[in-house]
Amino acid sequence: MDEFMQAAIAEAKAGKQAGGIPIGSVLVKAGKIIGRGHNKRVQDGDPVTHAEIDCLRNAGRIGNYKGTTLYSTLMPCYLCAGAVVQFGIKKVVAGESKTFPGAREFMESHGVEVVDCSLDECEEMMSDFITNNPELWNEDIGE
């Protein structure tokens, strides 16, 4: 596991410690993290503050996203995949997609390279959360 996925996992853990959903994300450009975030829907009372959206907000205005890679502990949903496509991010690295398949095909159909690392740590973190917080999880995914 590389340092960028480790940073995304650290964000997920920070979100969980703050009473939220354990999903984390980092945006990398030229080998450096330029943005990081975690799911803050619960903390902020904001239905669209997913980890990837928080990460992009924290990166700020960067001009363009050529050469960036978005790391996320979970395969991005359609909301976050839409942001990836909208901003022209061409690579997404996901920690896992077993607990939630996300919008992989949507991103790939728009020319995004998607890498699913299938990491046990990410899967266990989400599986535990979903088991212990099914109502909150279903709200997060719109069910």
Each domain of the chain, given as residue ranges in start order, spans: 3-141
Residue 32, helix vs strand vs coil: strand
Give residue 1's pLDDT. Answer: 65
Give residue 18's pLDDT. Answer: 96
Residues 51, 23: contact at Cβ < 8 Å? yes
The answer on pLDDT for 141 being more than 80 is no
The answer on pLDDT for 128 being more than 70 is yes
Per-residue pLDDT reduced to its tens digit, 81-112: 999 999 999 999 999 999 999 999 999 999 99
Is 135 an active-site residue?
Answer: no
Return the CATH superfamily for domain 3-141.
Cytidine Deaminase, domain 2 (3.40.140.10)
Taking each helix axis as running N to C, give the angle between helix 3-17 and helix 51-59, from 0 to 180 degrees, rounded to the nearest 10. Answer: 110
User: Among the options 52, 96, 123, 135, which is catalytic?
Assistant: 52
Task: Determine the average pLDDT of the residues in 11-30.
Answer: 97
76 vs 37: CA distance, rounded Å: 13
Sheet holding 24-29, edge to edge: 32-38, 24-29, 68-72, 91-94, 113-116
**Which backbone phi and psi does 140 adopt, to 5 degrees?**
-65, -40
pTM score, two decimals? 0.96
Q: Among 40-49, 112-121, 133-142, where is mean pLDDT lowest?
A: 133-142
The answer on pLDDT for 143 being more than 90 is no
